[in-house]
Amino acid sequence: MEMTSGLAAAKRRVIHNAAISRFSALGFAGTSMADIADEAAMSRPALYQYFRNKGDIFVSAFVHLFEDQVERALLVLNEPGPVAEQLNGFLQRYEGDLWQRMATTMHSDEILSAKNADIVAAIDSVVMQLWDGMATYLARVAVGRSRAVVARRAAWIELLKFSPKGFKFDQPSVEVYRRRLSALAQSVAADIAAS
């Protein structure tokens, strides 16, 4: 039973990767179940054993993408090194890698607008884990329970959470966006060191 479950999970990962590849190349509207099946090297009927329809695959694939990015970002916070490097790695794995993925497809606007209530709720839940992990990290590197320390940690989370949205305002290149993320990491790390 466990092996079957593991095989099913592995097959779903293959389908997720195939779906993201096809949605990125063709857009949501231009991608068919047959396209995803071809990319996953399986038959269309086999695809239906794992997912009900294209929308179901879309939700599952992009939630999985966010879960993976969140996991990678949080792992960086546990690597040895200075706070600035850890914060930069966190921002690069989560924000930078997602921006790079979206910037390399001409269908990013369509993909982002194809979100429905199911995907928004699922991604919000995953992103909440990201910021809970960051709160835990900040409590570890900026120890204290005073109101001032707690308020500073909340302010750093706001900066890390919302600044990257503004960094995208002018649709920068991936390189420029990543450089902005690094500057943010350096700024927050300097403020942590000064506190």
Select from 37, 93, 39 the least CA-distant residue to 66. Answer: 93
The dihedral built from the CA positions of residue 77, 83, 87 and 93, taken in this order, carries a sign that is negative
- Long-range CB pairs of 65-71 (<8 Å, 24+ gap) are 65/16, 65/20, 65/98, 65/101, 66/98, 66/123, 66/126, 66/127, 67/126, 69/93, 69/94, 69/97, 69/98, 70/94, 70/126, 70/127, 70/129, 70/130, 70/133
Residue 32 has what pLDDT? 95
Q: pLDDT tens digits for 139-185?
A: 999 998 999 999 999 999 999 999 999 999 998 999 999 999 999 99
- C-alpha dihedral sign at 127, 131, 136, 138: positive
pTM value is 0.85
Cα(51)–Cα(13) distance, rounded to whole angstroms?
12
Q: Between residues 110 and 7, which one has the greater pLDDT?
A: 7
Return the number of other C-beta atoms located less than 10 Å from residue 7's C-beta: 10
Q: What are the pLDDT digits (tens) for 112-127?
A: 666 667 778 888 899 9
pLDDT confidence of residue 2? 44
Query: pLDDT for 14-23, tens place per residue?
Result: 999 999 999 9
d(CA 194, CA 177): 26
Quote the pLDDT of residue 140.
96
